[in-house]
């Protein structure tokens, strides 16, 4: 891949299961996910030039070492439960990108980060659900990279930093998770509201910090922030942001989406 102007890097919320492709069950508001869906649909048009390939880090794949999907074809992993039958028949026939997968492993090795590869795992819903909105034609090759199961925030920033050269090779790096992910409190519109707002304020402050070292230090110490563990009892849906921040390099981030979903503040971020 030849070098070009760097593409942005994005951290997106991917919603709840296949939420964008079904009616929201009452008594939840029927427009619950509409604004998030509109944001995701707008990403493809907003990012130029059109990516040659997409590298996705999803909160739904964790392995001992970062693992790269190397297959030429993708199946879908319907890793959600209790949803309408038609949501298990969604299709996203994007091709794999073995050459990009090899480049990912090479860049990680160059940074002394050990990795593994896996050719058969399906794309989980943290990948295919938002991509169905972002790039519905499924005509851009996809590679998925796992999180580390130890959930070390500094290690995930280092992974992103190692992969930053891909931005100049036409690769869109996408971190797919949720800035708020406390499923026990999510459906209660009165629980976790203040905590989610406080933590979202911390994330916005970190992402928009003009000094990359200070930004990364804030993200490494994320669990000391107000509302942190109330918003993320487990951090797997936040760590894709750390990879994205690492890949951002010196680019200053900005908040490109914010909504209150059942009272919980949820945001999307972009660097570059």
Q: Quick one: pLDDT at residue 269? A: 98
Q: Is the predicted pLDDT of residue 15 greater than 80, yes or no?
A: yes
Report helix angle 239-248 to 153-163, nearest 10: 40
Token code pair at residue 237: 């849906």
CB 65, CB 117: distance < 8 Å: no
CB 255, CB 208: distance < 8 Å: yes
| 261 occurs within a structural domain | yes
Per-residue pLDDT tens digits for 99-132: 999 999 999 999 999 999 999 999 999 999 999 9
Average pLDDT of the chain is 97
> What percent of the chain clears pLDDT 90, i.e. is strictly above it?
96
Q: What is the CATH number of the domain that holds 202?
A: 3.40.830.10
Beta bridge partners of 67: 116
Instruction: Determine the average pLDDT of the residues in 165-191.
Output: 95
263 is in which domain, residue-wise? Answer: 9-271
Per-residue pLDDT tens digits for 126-171: 999 999 999 999 999 999 999 999 999 999 999 999 999 999 999 9
Q: Tell me the three-class secondary structure of 118-129, residue by residue.
A: ECCCCECHHHHH
> What percent of the chain clears pLDDT 70, i.e. is strictly above it?
99
Please tell me the distance from the alpha carbon of residue 67 to that of residue 65, in angstroms, as a whole number: 6
| 4 occurs within a structural domain | no
Give how many domains the chain has, as a whole number: 1
| 194 occurs within a structural domain | yes
Q: Is the predicted pLDDT of residue 4 greater than 90, yes or no?
A: no
| 42 occurs within a structural domain | yes
Instruction: Determine the average pLDDT of the residues in 58-67.
Output: 98
Please tell me the distance from the alpha carbon of residue 188 to that of residue 190, in angstroms, as a whole number: 5
CB 104, CB 169: distance < 8 Å: no
Q: Is the predicted pLDDT of residue 2 greater than 70, yes or no?
A: no
What are the residues whose beta carbons fall under 8 Å from the beta carbon of 130, sequence distance 6 or more? Answer: 12, 14, 15, 40, 174, 176
| 85 occurs within a structural domain | yes
Q: Is the peptide bond before 49 cis (omega within 30 degrees of 0)?
A: yes
Q: Is the predicted pLDDT of residue 95 greater than 70, yes or no?
A: yes
Q: Is 228 left (phi over 0), alpha (psi -120 to 50) or beta?
A: alpha
Instruction: Determine the average pLDDT of the residues in 167-180.
Output: 98
Per-residue pLDDT tens digits for 202-228: 999 999 999 999 999 999 999 999 999
Instruction: Determine the average pLDDT of the residues in 73-88.
Output: 97
The DSSP element (H or E) to which 239 belongs, if any, is helix 239-248
CB 161, CB 112: distance < 8 Å: no
Q: Quick one: pLDDT at residue 1? A: 56
| 51 occurs within a structural domain | yes
| 163 occurs within a structural domain | yes
| 1 occurs within a structural domain | no
Per-residue pLDDT tens digits for 23-58: 999 999 999 999 999 999 999 999 999 999 999 999
Token code pair at residue 21: 């492709």
Assign 237 to helix, strand or coil. coil
Q: Quick one: pLDDT at residue 3? A: 82
Please tell me the distance from the alpha carbon of residue 123 to that of residue 75, in angstroms, as a whole number: 6
């Amino acid at each position: 891949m030849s070098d070009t102007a760097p593409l942005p890097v994005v951290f997106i919320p991917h919603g709840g299961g296949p939420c964008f492709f079904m009616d929201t069950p009452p008594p939840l508001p029927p427009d619950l996910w509409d604004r998030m869906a509109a944001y995701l649909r707008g990403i493809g048009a907003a990012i130029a030039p059109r990516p040659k390939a997409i590298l996705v880090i999803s909160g739904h794949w964790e392995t001992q070492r970062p693992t790269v999907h190397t297959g030429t074809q993708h199946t879908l992993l319907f890793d959600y439960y209790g949803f309408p039958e038609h949501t298990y028949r969604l299709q996203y026939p994007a091709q794999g990108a073995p050459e990009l997968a090899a480049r990912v492993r090479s860049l990680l090795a160059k940074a002394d980060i050990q990795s593994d590869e896996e050719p058969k795992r399906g794309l989980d819903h943290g990948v295919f659900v938002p991509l169905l909105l972002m790039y519905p034609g499924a005509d851009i090759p996809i590679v998925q990279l796992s999180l580390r199961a130890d959930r070390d925030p500094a290690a995930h920033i280092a992974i992103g930093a190692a992969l930053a050269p891909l931005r100049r090779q036409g690769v869109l790096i996408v971190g797919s998770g949720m800035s708020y992910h406390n499923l026990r409190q999510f459906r209660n519109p009165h629980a976790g509201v203040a905590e989610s707002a406080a933590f979202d304020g911390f994330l916005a402050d970190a992402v928009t910090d003009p000094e990359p070292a200070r930004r990364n230090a804030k993200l490494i110490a994320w669990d000391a922030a107000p509302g942190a563990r109330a918003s993320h009892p487990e951090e797997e849906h936040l760590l894709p942001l750390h990879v994205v921040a690492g890949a951002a390099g010196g680019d200053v981030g900005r908040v490109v989406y914010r909504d209150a979903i059942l009272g919980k503040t949820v945001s999307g971020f972009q660097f570059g």
